[in-house]
Structure 1
Amino acid sequence: MLHAKPAPFGLLGKIDGAIGRAEVWILGWGIILMAGNTIANVFGRYVFNQSIYFSEELNEFLIVTVTFMGLGYATRKGIHIRMSAIYDALPVKLRKGLMVVIAATTAAMMALLAWYALEYVQKVASRGRITPALQLPLYLTYVWVVLGLALTALQYLLTALRNLNFAEEEIYVSYLEVDSYEDPETAAAIKRHEDADGEEKP
């Protein structure tokens, strides 16, 4: 189980907090708008026999936004999928060092993808293409890809920096989340068993 520790004070803590608040706001409103748009479209189709003409296009835009902003959010919370069989078998110091390498490498890859995505957005913007229904510039849809990849790169960079302190025993899978595999249900069952044993003793 992952558990969070208070972020250290300073610039990095402020950056992480600001990013987290922005991600939660964008993801929350994106999902709310997607749900509201879908419900309204179904209601219009079956009650008034008239669909909302831009509903599908708006949902596509929101899906892109939620997907790529969610990528950064998942990284920040340390809930991304990890293959850790070899990693788990290593001593703590080696795991911490390996986490620095993994996070730094992933940050570089995400930054490179963000750069390529930015180049693509610039090409789309230069062609002046617009969406069919909403008549909005098409590049606005892909801006969220660039932003999501860039924020993910930043989160992995913060993870690498947080793990550079080898005086700490904790290994961080994100800037806030500590790597831990303690199952809360198992821990609660063990505690109940220990309490029961204590009560049985004279």
Structure 2
Amino acid sequence: MTDQPQSSEHASSLPGFLGTIDSLISRIESAMLAVGVLLMAANTIANVVGRFVFQSSIFFSEELNRILIILITFAGISYAARQGRHIRMSAIYDALPPPMRKPMMIAIALITAAFMFALCWYSYGYIVTQAGRGRVLPALQIPVWWTLIWVPVGFFMTGMQYLLTAIKNVREKDIYLSTNVLEGYTADEQEI
């Protein structure tokens, strides 16, 4: 029996426990995004069919899509961090000599992680406030705070992505934008 390399989009480049956390976050992001997009598409198609074929819309369709947009948005910020795809203002960073870039990338990742964890904390407080108000969605009759659960989850996962990126940069010789994406520009990006 030969050892075959594991090829998976969820495999982490981090060792040990950190790699396990990174892989778990990747699986959660993928599931949230896939389920959210598929449910939104199915809900929208069903509503259009209902409206034009049966002359009756699904009464909760807009509320469901609003919930799914929140889910997709906040799972998406974590996914974008994992892929190194967030918008960056890199003029100062690019002007630095290579030996100065690594400490700058570590600082950027740590500061961003701290902001994401702070936003997670504040969004959790907002959810507690909403839960105390007892408001419910008009059509679905579920508490409003249930629809907001994805906000602190997304901020937490994004904060973890940036924290893992800082750790990866401390451990490795190269500079990483995320745990899987090396710093630098592709040929297409350089032509712009």
Q: TM-score, normalised by structure 1?
A: 0.85
Structure 2: gaps of 5 or more residues: 1-10
Aligned to 2:130: 124
Q: 1:93 to 1:185 in 2, by over 3 A?
A: closer
Aligned equivalents of 2:52, 2:106: Cα separation in 1 = 54
Per the alignment, do residues 82 and 8 of structure 1 end up closer, same or farther by CA in structure 2, a change over 3 Å counting?
same
Q: Which amino acid aligns with 1:143?
A: I
Where in structure 1 do 4 or more consecutive aligned residues deviate above 6 Å?
none
Letter in 1 for 2:182: V
* Match in the other structure for 1:191: none
Q: Which residue of 2 aligns with 1:59?
A: 65
Q: Partner amino acid for 1:145?
A: V
1:172 aligned to 151, 173, 176, which one?
176
Question: Residues 184-199 of structure 1 correspond to what in structure 2 (within 5 A)?
Answer: none
- Alignment correspondent of 1:194: none
- Residues 77-156 of structure 1: pairs in structure 2 closer than 5 A: 77-156=83-162
Aligned partner of 1:182 in structure 2 is 186
TM-superposition CA deviations, 1:41-62 (whole Å, max 9, x none)? 0110011100000000000000
The separation in 2 between residues aligned to 1:63 and 1:77, in whole angstroms, is 20
The whole-number CA distance in structure 2 between the counterparts of 1:115 and 1:85 is: 31
Count the aligned residue pairs.
Answer: 180
Could you say which residue in structure 2 is the equivalent of 1:195?
none
CA distance in 2, matches of 1:8, 1:109: 23
Percentage of matched positions with identical amino acids: 51
Residues 144-171 of structure 1 show CA distances to partners (whole Å, capped at 9, x for unaligned) of: 1111011111111111111113x61x11
The structure that has the greater radius of gyration is 1
> Which SS does the other structure have where 2:149 is aligned?
helix
Q: Following the alignment from structure 2 to structure 1, what is the Cα–Cα distance between the partners of residues 105 and 157? A: 19
1:46 equivalent in alignment to 2:52: yes
Unaligned runs of 5+ in 1: 187-202
Alignment of 1:18 onto 2:24 = yes
Alpha-carbon offset, residue 183 of structure 1: 1.6
State the one-letter code of the partner of 1:49: Q
Aligned to 2:82: 76
Secondary structure of 1:86's aligned partner: helix
Question: In angstroms, what is the RMSD of aligned CA positions?
Answer: 1.7
Taking structure 1 as reference, are residues 90 and 77 closer, same or farther at Cα in structure 2, changes over 3 Å only? same
